[in-house]
Chains A and B, each alone.
Chain A
Amino acid sequence: DIVVTQSPDSLAVSLGERATINCKSSQSVLYSSNNKNYLGWYQQKPGQPPKLIIYWASTRESGVPDRFSGSGSGTDFSLTISSLQAEDVAVYYCQQYYTAPYFFGQGTKLEIK
């Protein structure tokens, strides 16, 4: 099984500042035949289902603001919000979809400082 672990568990950032969340997989999720990292990021606001914001580790989903970016390869990944807005308060999850079972990270709660 490929387990993913996020850090930190919670994060408080001032409006307009940068927020970075890390995700580490227990094995590489880079598929050599297509050079894609099978890693996604989701945003979940209270009372709502999760929303996909980044896939292939660094591709923004349609409609997602460009202040959101994903980076990393192999086993180490990051989600960065370049300038935090009030509407970005949420819990963020990474997920590996390289192979079943498709583990999610434990979540990072992002708040305003």
Chain B
Amino acid sequence: EVQLVESGGGLVQPGGSLRLACAASGFTFNQYWMHWVRQAPGKGLEWIARVNGDGYTTSYADSVKGRFTIARDNARNTVNLQMNSLRVEDTAVYYCVRPQTGAAYAFDIWGQGTMVTVSS
């Protein structure tokens, strides 16, 4: 079964850091781009970052560029999101997402999400 399981969410103060992890199983991990998408409470979906199969190509939304870093460990089938200089507006459920295949494909596999709360 294809599965994505996020971990690492929690409560952090503004300006703090948090590292999210996503464990993938059931597919050949290094053949897929991986993405993170977030959803603030009661709000819509926001794509925030992607990384290609070998980990050398990344892209970010303007809202997180320079603060968040996406990286993957293909030996462990994991993709991480390092979040620094966190702001109150980063409060959201963070989803790990796999597209159907390749860079430009719809997102067919989603994790259950991990909640990040930025508050003093």
Contacts and interface: CB of A to CB of B under 8 A. Distances in A.
Contact of B44 (A40, A55, A100, A107): A107
A98 B107 contact: no
B47 A55 contact: no
Contact of A49 (B44, B50, B62, B113): B113
Given A100-B59, A101-B61, A93 B47 contact: no
B110 A100 contact: no
B47 A61 contact: no
B106 A100 contact: no
Nearest to B107: A52
Contacts of B61: 101
Most chain A C-beta atoms within 10 Å of own C-beta, residue among B45, B95, B108, B112: B45
Interface of B: 35, 44-47, 50, 59, 61-62, 95, 99-100, 104-108, 110-113
Given A49-B110, A49-B113, A100-B59, A105 B105 contact: no
A20 B59 CA distance: 33
Contacts of A103: 47
Contact of A55 (B45, B50, B106, B112): B106
B101 to A, nearest CB: 11
Contacts of B110: 49-51
Pairs of residues from A and B, 7 with the lowest C-beta to C-beta distance, nearest first: A40-B106, A55-B106, A49-B110, A104-B45, A102-B47, A100-B59, A107-B44
A73 B11 CA distance: 43
Given A104-B46, A104-B47, A49 B104 contact: no
17 contacts: A38-B104, A40-B107, A44-B45, A49-B111, A50-B107, A52-B107, A55-B100, A61-B108, A97-B104, A98-B104, A99-B104, A100-B50, A101-B61, A102-B50, A104-B47, A106-B44, A107-B45
